[in-house]
Every structure is written in structure tokens, then in C-alpha cells.
């Protein structure tokens, strides 16, 4: 997700550059003024409260504003990110936005500040006043607006400068040159962003084969907890030895039905993967997270490494076809322990329903999800997912 704040004094061209950013990078535009007007028009409880506050000449509190912004973000999970225009306006709001971004498992990538001298700003606004007949575009009002902007904005700019995400751009340049400067900054930020994809789907939906093939095509690190744990056992690492010991003692006797190796073993291995992308463009997760607890753990691990989930896919296959696929797989050298008979297959599907479907539903609310028709040949399903990823990459360029 790409989250950008755009700043600039009156006359700097924020409106024009906002349109450019929204269109080029498929961002959802957030202006507190627009959001407040939309909330009032909706007739919601918060909208009525805002209406009454404005009618009485009061200022809408930060508490109300942040609620509306949070609702806007969570209601638009399909966006590539968000463009904040004129928010945060104060030092306090900067802290509020930072906390909100953390809560939503994301962060502000950069604050782009369009710098403009007072002389040029005044001249631009006076010229605009002549063409638009705006009553507020006179020199006295303009100077007051510029003074107020400078006083309120400087602390906010310093806040983000300390965090290393403030970028100043010469806003006096022609529009096209400013756009090029902005694009360079965005591209720089995108290059830092790993692509993190989660493949959901019931056993038999083809996640393993598809995940490996997709990881090769898009230069992603394939992350399968089964493969990771098998590797630990094969290499006789400390964790591998402990897992073998538990197996021999029967402590993981139900693992063939999808019972999990304790998270205390899995989490350090997942974090080790995330800390060493090995030049890859990101990760594609299969079989993890499998529980709600693991989903919270993964969110935290990604955030720790300044990353987040980019895309969630759910491979849809009818239950009867899943069962038939697993029965057929049981006749091959790729057979899993639960492929042995109809009863064990049904039990494995039920465990997935109980533990993993709630995780998928959680991610629908937070990140949105793209459903993929998992029927047909391998190439057909592969191409359906590949097209979605290519579109994702294209919109981020």
C-alpha cells in the first residue's frame, strides 16, 4: 500500500498534483473537508454531529476527524493506497495519523511538500482571483492565509523530517516538471516496498503448485511452513530436532489432519525469512497464516520490517472437486497423510473451515481479497492469478 501526504501553501498547485497522483497510482483521495461534507450528506450519526458543530460555528474535533478517516480507509480496501491532502494539519494530528496507520497495519510512506515563495504564491493567487472571481483571492486575505499555513505546517513538516520521510519539491517549476519530481519520489518509495501475497484456498485447490510457479515468474520468495519445517528436520537444526522429538513422543500425532507445529517454532523461522529476502521482490505465503493468532503475528512481523500485505487471493474450487482431487493425489507420490481416505480428507477440510476461513474473513475487511476461479487446467488458473499480479505491478509503476 502506498500512502502519501501532499503539502503546499495556497497557490502551490496541490489540486493539480493531487489529480496526477490519484490517477497515476490509483490512490484514494482523502481531504478532510470533502469527507466532512460527504458525512453530513450521508445523514449518519457522525454526520449530524458534524453538521450541528459547524452550524454553531465550532471546529470539528480531531476525535471525529480520525473516526471518519479510519472509516474511509477500511471502506476502501481495494485501493493501492491513500493520498492525504491537507492532513495532518497540526503536530497533534501527525501523531494521530501515525497511530491510525499502525492500527491499520500500514504507514505513511512519504510527505511531499511543494515549496513556494510568498511572492510567487501571492502572484499566482491574485492571477487566479482575476480569472475565477474568487473573493478570497485578494492580497490581504492571501497574506493571512500564507502566514497561518506557515505557522501551522512547520511543526508537522519537522515531525516527518525527523522520521526521514519528508521530501521538499520546488513548486515554482512548470506543472510537468513538478510531476516528474513527484514521480521520482514515488518510484523510490515503491522500490522499497516488498510485494507480499497470501494464497488462500482449501486443501486441493492447488496452492502449492501455483505458489511455486508464481514465485518464479514474479521473483518472489515462496514461503511454505511445511517446506520450512521439513528443511529444519532435514538439516537437523535445533528446531528440527525438537520437532522430531515431539513427533516421536506423539505430541504432534494429529499433524496429518492439519494440527499445527507450535508457533514458538514457526515464528522465528518466518521472521528469519522476512529479514532475508535474498534480493527477491517480496514473498508469497502458502499455508501461513493458518490461524487468527498467526495472522496477527504475521501482521506484526511485516510491520517490524516496514512492510505489509499487498494482495490476498482466495482460490475457489467446489467441494466435490476438492475431494476428487485429493483422492487422486493420494494415488501419486505427491500424496499427503490426509489423502489416505475419504474420512481423513473430510476432517482436513473441516479443520481448514474452522481455523483458516476466519483468517481469510479478517483479511477481507482489512486488505480486501481477490477470488480466483480454481477450476480448469493449471495454466488457466495460473494465468488468472498472474494477470491480477501483473495489473497490481503495473498500477504501482
pLDDT digits (tens, 9 = 90+) for 234-268: 999 998 898 888 877 766 644 443 446 788 888 89
CA distance 210 to 385: 9
Q: Give the pLDDT of residue 27.
A: 92
CA distance 382 to 367: 22
Mean predicted lDDT score pLDDT of the chain: 88
For CA atoms 28, 92, 157, 185, the dihedral sign is negative
Report yes or no on 248 lying in a domain: no
Banded model confidence at residue 371, pLDDT cuts 50, 70, 90: very high
Radius of gyration of the chain (CA): 26
Report yes or no on 160 lying in a domain: yes
Pair type for strands 110-115 and 2-7: parallel
Number of H helices, E strands in the chain: 17, 10
Report yes or no on 249 lying in a domain: no
Confidence check: pLDDT of 105 > 80: no
Do 217 and 148 share a structural domain?
no
Do 301 and 175 share a structural domain?
no
Kindly state the average pLDDT of the residues 207-236: 92
Please identify, among 170, 192, 214, the residue that sits at the C-terminal boundary of a domain: 192
DSSP state of 340: S
Q: Number of folded domains in the chain?
A: 2
Do 213 and 186 share a structural domain?
no
Banded model confidence at residue 169, pLDDT cuts 50, 70, 90: very high
Number of neighbours of residue 185 by Cβ within 10 angstroms: 16
Sheet strands side by side (includes 27-31): 27-31, 81-85, 2-7, 110-115, 166-170
Do 211 and 172 share a structural domain?
no
Q: Are 136 and 127 in contact (CB under 8 A)?
A: no
Q: Give the pLDDT of residue 154.
A: 87
Q: Are 63 and 118 in contact (CB under 8 A)?
A: no
Kindly state the average pLDDT of the residues 272-282: 80
Confidence check: pLDDT of 134 > 70: no
Confidence check: pLDDT of 97 > 90: yes
Q: Give the pLDDT of residue 125.
A: 87
Angle (nearest 5°) at CA 86 between 19 and 41:
80
Kindly report the pTM of this predicted structure.
0.55
CATH of the domain at 313: 3.40.50.300
Amino acid at each position: 500500500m502506498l500512502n502519501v501526504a501532499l503539502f503546499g501553501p495556497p497557490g502551490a498547485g496541490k489540486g493539480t498534483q493531487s489529480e496526477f497522483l490519484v490517477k497515476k497510482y490509483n490512490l484514494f483521495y482523502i481531504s478532510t473537508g470533502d469527507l466532512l461534507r460527504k458525512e453530513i450528506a450521508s445523514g449518519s450519526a457522525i454526520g449530524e454531529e458534524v453538521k450541528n458543530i459547524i452550524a454553531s460555528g465550532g471546529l470539528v474535533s480531531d476525535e471525529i476527524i480520525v473516526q471518519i478517516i479510519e472509516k474511509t480507509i477500511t471502506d476502501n480496501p481495494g485501493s493501492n493506497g491513500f493520498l492525504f491532502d491537507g492532513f495532518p494539519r497540526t503536530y497533534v494530528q501527525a501523531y494521530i495519523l501515525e497511530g491510525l496507520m499502525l492500527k491499520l497495519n500500514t504507514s505513511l510512506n512519504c510527505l511531499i511538500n511543494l515549496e513556494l515563495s510568498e511572492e510567487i504564491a501571492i502572484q499566482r493567487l491574485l492571477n487566479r482571483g482575476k480569472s475565477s472571481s474568487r473573493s478570497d483571492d485578494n492580497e490581504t486575505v492571501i497574506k493571512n492565509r500564507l502566514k497561518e499555513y506557515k505557522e501551522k505546517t512547520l511543526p508537522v513538516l519537522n515531525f516527518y523530517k525527523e522520521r526521514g520521510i519528508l521530501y521538499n519539491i520546488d513548486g515554482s517549476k512548470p506543472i510537468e516538471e513538478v510531476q516528474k519530481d513527484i514521480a521520482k519520489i514515488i518510484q523510490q518509495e515503491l522500490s522499497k516496498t516488498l510485494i507480499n501475497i497470501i494464497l488462500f484456498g482449501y486443501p486441493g485447490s492447488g496452492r502449492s503448485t501455483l505458489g511455486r510457479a508464481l514465485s518464479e515468474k514474479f521473483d518472489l520468495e515462496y514461503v511454505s511452513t511445511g517446506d520450512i519445517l521439513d528443511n529444519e528436520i532435514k538439516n537437523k537444526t535445533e528446531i528440527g530436532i525438537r520437532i522430531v522429538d515431539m513427533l516421536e513422543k506423539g505430541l504432534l500425532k494429529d499433524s496429518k489432519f492439519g494440527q499445527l507445529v507450535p508457533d514458538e517454532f514457526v515464528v522465528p523461522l518466518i521472521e528469519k525469512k522476512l529479514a532475508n529476502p535474498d534480493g527477491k521482490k517480496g514473498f508469497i505465503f502458502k499455508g501461513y497464516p493458518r490461524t487468527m493468532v498467526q495472522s496477527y503475528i504475521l501482521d506484526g512481523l511485516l510491520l517490524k520490517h516496514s512492510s505489509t500485505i499487498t494482495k490476498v487471493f482466495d482460490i475457489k474450487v467446489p467441494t466435490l472437486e476438492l475431494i476428487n482431487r485429493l483422492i487422486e493425489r493420494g494415488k501419486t507420490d505427491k500424496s499427503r497423510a490426509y489423502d489416505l481416505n475419504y474420512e481423513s480428507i473430510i476432517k482436513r477440510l473441516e479443520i481448514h473451515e474452522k481455523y483458516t476461513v476466519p483468517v481469510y474473513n479478517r483479511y477481507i475487511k482489512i486488505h480486501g481479497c481477490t477470488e480466483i476461479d480454481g477450476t480448469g487446467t493449471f495454466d488457466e488458473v495460473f494465468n488468472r492469478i498472474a494477470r491480477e499480479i501483473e495489473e497490481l505491478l503495473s498500477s504501482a509503476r
